[in-house]
Each structure stands twice: as structure tokens, then as C-alpha cells.
């Protein structure tokens, strides 16, 4: 097993950040591939390259800038990861999820995760936004889990319940915001599946995932959600559907990283609008 990270390392990072910013965020946002533009909407920014922050890994995936940005979004103090870490980059799942426990020590109560994903649900269109209702953790089913190893009770219990990881009230609020913003035709709710990557799915894998009830597939998000839920954070997740996953050997559509990034950059505006509205409503009686 790769080396676990001890409490003092998370604390060291949190203390380093707290001594350099006056922001005390209750909300953290993780930006998926090509979705980092959201961080630019934060006011009164304090930004730190990941390479400067003790304990943070390096960001190598395309479309992930590698900056932690503190600031104010719709009146709420937030911290935003402009780029995330993936297992396929060679990071251990402890490193992939390192920032989430740092956020916990900074006082964050709500984690918003976003990603670019391919759709398996036939009704979904490219550019749709999927509210994540639940997930399937393919690496986790095979024993790769960031909660493996000795459990630190200061973060959470040995055997966390995961049946309601994605907060019901926030999902309902996002639906209502979709209606209010007149974009409900482009909003879906479904099941996200994490695969290890970095290759995209074979046709047989795509068919298998569809039979398993997967609506959208990607290579991230689930480890961060496990760690956030374990330490008692509220979690809300959105997938931007950047492509339809090929399901047929005759299918001429071949997904590429360039296409994923181009679609997410082009369509990120809707996702950002929902997140900004959601953040504005956090702390009200419905959220």
C-alpha cells in the first residue's frame, strides 16, 4: 500500500494557508477539466500555485491550471481548486484527496465537485449538465479506496455510510435553479461512474457500464467525495457531458481529450451559473 498521510501533514498545509489568507471559506469547489474559469469569478482573490503549498501534489492533467484560489462568490467566502489530481497521473488516492482534508481543517462545510464526463444515458445530449445523484466506484470495488489503511477518527468513522453522499436538499435546489434559469431542458440527474483511466472506454466496457446503470463516466470525483462525506461535509456534484460514449463497433465517433476540453470550455458557462446561484442560496433554509 502507498504511504498514508498523517494528520499533521494536513494541519501543516491548513496552517500555511490560514497564515496567508484572511478568507475563512465554508464552501470548497473543485473544478473539472476545462472548468477552471469559475475561479476567475471570485472577488478579493488570494491565489496560490499548488507547487507553493506544503503537501500539495503537482497537477499534470490537461485543462487543470494547478492553483488554489480563495475569494468571495455571491457574497460567500469560497476556496476553489483550479485543477484537480487524478489517480491516472500516478498520484496515490491519499494525494488525490489531500486537499479535501485540508479544506475540512480550514472549516469548509460544503464541497462542490465538478467534472467533464462522457454519457451512457441515451437521453443525454452533449453540453447537458448532470446533477450527480449517486456514484459507482470501479477502482473502489477493486480495493482502491482513499479510506484504506488505519482510520483517523478525528476525520470520521471506520465504516462510513455512503448511501446519501450527495446532499438531497442541494440536489433539489439545483433542480429548482435549473427551472428558474430556464435551462431545465439541459439539466439531468443521474449516476456517475469513476473508472481509473487514462484510456477511454472500449465498446464492451461502455456496454457493461450502461447495463450497470451508469449515466455518465469519468476518471475522477469519487475519491474526493468519499473523503468529504467521511469527514461530514455536505457534497454536491455536477458533471458536464462533453461527449457521448461510443456503444457500437460501427460508431464513427471517437472521443479525444481535445474534444472534451473544447466542449467543457464552450459549455462551462451554464455549469458556472448553476454553481454561483447555488452558492448564493447556501445557508438559506433550503440548503
Ligand X SMILES: O=P(O)(O)O[C@H]1O[C@H](CO)[C@@H](O)[C@H]1O
Q: How many Cβ atoms are within 10 Å of 37's Cβ, its own excluded?
A: 16
CA distances (Å), origin 159, targets 60, 128, 151, 229 = 32, 34, 9, 12
Applying CB under 6 A, the span of 133-141, 149-157, 218-226, 265-273 interacting with ligand X comes to: 218-226
**Are 80 and 38 a contacting pair, CB within 8 Å?**
yes
Instruction: Between 162 and 255, name the residue whose CB sits nearer to ligand GUN.
Output: 255
Closest CA to 222 of 242, 197, 253: 197
Alpha carbon distance 68, 234 (integer Å): 20
Q: What separation, in Å, do the N-terminal and C-terminal C-alpha atoms of the chain show?
A: 39
> Binding residue for ligand X (CB under 6 A) from 205, 257, 273, 276?
257
Instruction: Between 122 and 285, name the residue whose CB sits nearer to ligand GUN.
Output: 122
Residue with cell string 483511466: 197
Q: What is the DSSP letter of 166?
A: B
Asked whether residue 33 is marked as a ligand-binding residue, the answer is yes
Applying CB under 6 A, the span of 23-31, 88-96, 128-136, 241-249 interacting with ligand GUN comes to: 241-249
User: From residue 50 to residue 89, what is the string marking binding to ligand GUN with x (rule CB under 6 A)?
Assistant: ----------------------------------------
Instruction: Between 181 and 255, name the residue whose CB sits nearer to ligand GUN.
Output: 255
Residue nearest to ligand X (CB): 32
Q: How far is CA 209 from the centre of its chain?
A: 20
**Are 151 and 4 a contacting pair, CB within 8 Å?**
no
Q: What does 257 bind: ligand GUN, ligand X, none (CB cut-off 5 to 8 Å by kind)?
A: ligand X
- Main-chain dihedrals φ then ψ at residue 158, nearest 5 degrees: -60, -45
Using CB under 6 A as the binding rule, whether residue 218 contacts ligand GUN is answered as: yes
Annotated binding site: 33, 64, 84-86, 116, 201, 220, 243
The site for ligand X (CB under 6 A) is made up of 32-33, 61, 84, 86, 115-116, 197, 218-221, 257, 260
The site for ligand GUN (CB under 6 A) is made up of 116-118, 195, 197, 200-201, 217-219, 242-243, 245, 255, 260
Amino acid at each position: 500500500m502507498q504511504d498514508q498521510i498523517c494528520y499533521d501533514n494536513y494541519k501543516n498545509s491548513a496552517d500555511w494557508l490560514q497564515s496567508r489568507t484572511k478568507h475563512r471559506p465554508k464552501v470548497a469547489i473543485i473544478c473539472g477539466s476545462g472548468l477552471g474559469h469559475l475561479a476567475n469569478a471570485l472577488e478579493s482573490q488570494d491565489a496560490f500555485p499548488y507547487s507553493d503549498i506544503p503537501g500539495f501534489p503537482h497537477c499534470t492533467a490537461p485543462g487543470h491550471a494547478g492553483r488554489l484560489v480563495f475569494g468571495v462568490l455571491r457574497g460567500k467566502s469560497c476556496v476553489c481548486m483550479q485543477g484537480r489530481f487524478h489517480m491516472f497521473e500516478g498520484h496515490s488516492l491519499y494525494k488525490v484527496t489531500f486537499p479535501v482534508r485540508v479544506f475540512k481543517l480550514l472549516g469548509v462545510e460544503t464541497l462542490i465537485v465538478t467534472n467533464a464526463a462522457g454519457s451512457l444515458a441515451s437521453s443525454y445530449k452533449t453540453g447537458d449538465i448532470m446533477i450527480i445523484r449517486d456514484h459507482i466506484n470501479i477502482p473502489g470495488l477493486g480495493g482502491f479506496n482513499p479510506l484504506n489503511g488505519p482510520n483517523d477518527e478525528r476525520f470520521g468513522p471506520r465504516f462510513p455510510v455512503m448511501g446519501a453522499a450527495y446532499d438531497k436538499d442541494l440536489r433539489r435546489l439545483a433542480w429548482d435553479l435549473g427551472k428558474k434559469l430556464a435551462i431545465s431542458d439541459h439539466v439531468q440527474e443521474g449516476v456517475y461512474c469513476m473508472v481509473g483511466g487514462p484510456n477511454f472506454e472500449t465498446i464492451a466496457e461502455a456496454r457493461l457500464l450502461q447495463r450497470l446503470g451508469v449515466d455518465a463516466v469519468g476518471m475522477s470525483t469519487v475519491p474526493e467525495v468519499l473523503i468529504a462525506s467521511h469527514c461530514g461535509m455536505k457534497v454536491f456534484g455536477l458533471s458536464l457531458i462533453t461527449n457521448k460514449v461510443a456503444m457500437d463497433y460501427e460508431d464513427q465517433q471517437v472521443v479525444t481529450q481535445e474534444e472534451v476540453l473544447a466542449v467543457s470550455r464552450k459549455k462551462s458557462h451554464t455549469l458556472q451559473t448553476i454553481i454561483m446561484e447555488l452558492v448564493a442560496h447556501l445557508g438559506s433554509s433550503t440548503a
